[in-house]
């Protein structure tokens, strides 16, 4: 890797790790607010505004996540492992689902994006579990000549890895889908 690319990787790893922590906190607060709404049957102004723009926000979030993962692998040369590819399947498809739904103003997609994000979240949680040094419950789907799923590409702040970034992204997409589903299923 060239020194220029190493500097880009260091910069991105640092700031995306900070963003992951912030995004995770936002996702937890968002899910808590959503649970409060369900319990009290009161609609909060912020969640109502978010649900009106859910198609665009979902498209933007999934597009940024897809773009960054492709930038890391295709430009910077950091190859994904088998579990990374599985997570990408559940993220990349959402770019097209959200994009087409946003174009057509179709608010019926949220059960599908919720399903895709939940499966992606489960895979990402397991992948992070592996990279934190715990034993395999299921084997890595990679063949012997590719990247090992249990070996982290980087660890920032002692716990932030690529799979944890994916966890935060899928949690936001889940919160978005639940918020919009609540609004548009009425």
User: In the chain, what are the domain boundaries?
Assistant: 3-184
Look at residue 144 in the predicted model and tell me its pLDDT: 55
Rounded (10°) angle between helices 3-40 and 45-52: 120
| Tens of pLDDT, residues 121-170 | 999 999 999 888 887 777 676 665 567 777 888 888 888 999 999 999 99
pLDDT (tens digit, 9 = 90+) per residue, 33-92? Answer: 888 877 777 777 777 888 889 999 999 999 999 999 999 999 998 888 888 889 999 999
> Which residues is 160 bridged to in the sheet?
156
pTM of the model: 0.90
1 touches 9 (CB < 8 A): yes
List b or e across 99-136, with b for residues whose CB sees 16 or more CB atoms inside 10 angstroms.
bebbeeeebebbeebbebbeebbebbbbbbebbeeeee
């Amino acid at each position: 890797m060239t020194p220029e690319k190493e500097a880009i990787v260091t910069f991105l790893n640092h700031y995306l790790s900070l963003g992951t922590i912030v995004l995770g906190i936002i996702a937890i607060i968002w899910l808590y607010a959503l649970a409060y709404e369900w319990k009290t049957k009161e609609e909060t102004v912020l969640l109502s505004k978010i649900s009106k723009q859910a198609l665009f926000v979902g498209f933007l979030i999934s597009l940024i996540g897809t773009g960054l993962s492709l930038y890391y692998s295709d430009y910077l040369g950091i190859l994904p492992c088998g579990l990374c590819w599985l997570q990408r399947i559940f993220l990349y498809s959402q770019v097209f689902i959200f994009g087409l739904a946003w174009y057509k103003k179709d608010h019926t997609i949220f059960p599908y994006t919720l399903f895709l994000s939940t499966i992606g979240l489960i895979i990402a949680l397991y992948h992070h579990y592996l990279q934190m040094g715990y034993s395999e419950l299921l084997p890595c789907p990679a063949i012997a000549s590719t990247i090992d799923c249990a070996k982290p590409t980087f660890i920032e702040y002692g716990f932030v890895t690529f799979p944890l970034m994916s966890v935060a992204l899928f949690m936001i997409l889940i919160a978005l889908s639940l918020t919009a589903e609540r609004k548009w299923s009425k």
